[in-house]
């Protein structure tokens, strides 16, 4: 029985390419999430024009905070992945 050893040795070049592909998938996913945050802002703007109420300002603020969060996470991923 092997203890502390891998059953199959993976070449270093292949392991690096797997991580590169995984990082690319994460960045593409975060980019899609950023696009979703833009759509949320647009929808909130359209809603605010159609329906007026007490929560307009708060909902707009939440949408912009959500967008800022999405941008921040995407930038952090670009820097640290």
Residue 61 lies in a domain: yes
pTM, entire model: 0.74
Q: What is the pLDDT of residue 5?
A: 64
Domain count, the chain: 1
Q: Considering the domain boundaries, does residue 15 fall inside one?
A: no
- Whether residue 65 is contained in a domain is answered as yes
Tell me the residue range of the domain where 80 lies: 52-81
Round to whole Å and give the CA distance between 37 and 26.
16
Q: What pLDDT is recorded for position 17?
A: 79
Residue 79 domain-assigned? yes
Q: Does 8 fall in a domain?
A: no
Chain segment 41-74, per-residue pLDDT in tens: 999 999 988 888 888 889 999 999 999 999 999 9
Query: What is the rounded CA–CA span in Å between residue 62 and residue 69?
Result: 10
Helices (H) and strands (E) in the chain, counts: 2, 0
């Amino acid at each position: 029985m092997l203890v502390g050893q891998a059953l199959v040795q993976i070449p270093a070049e292949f392991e690096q390419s797997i991580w590169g592909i995984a990082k690319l998938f994460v960045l593409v996913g975060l980019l899609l999430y950023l696009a979703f945050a833009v759509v949320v802002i647009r929808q909130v703007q359209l809603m605010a024009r159609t329906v007026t109420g007490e929560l307009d300002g708060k909902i707009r603020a939440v949408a912009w905070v959500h967008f800022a969060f999405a941008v921040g996470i995407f930038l952090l991923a670009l820097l640290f992945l």
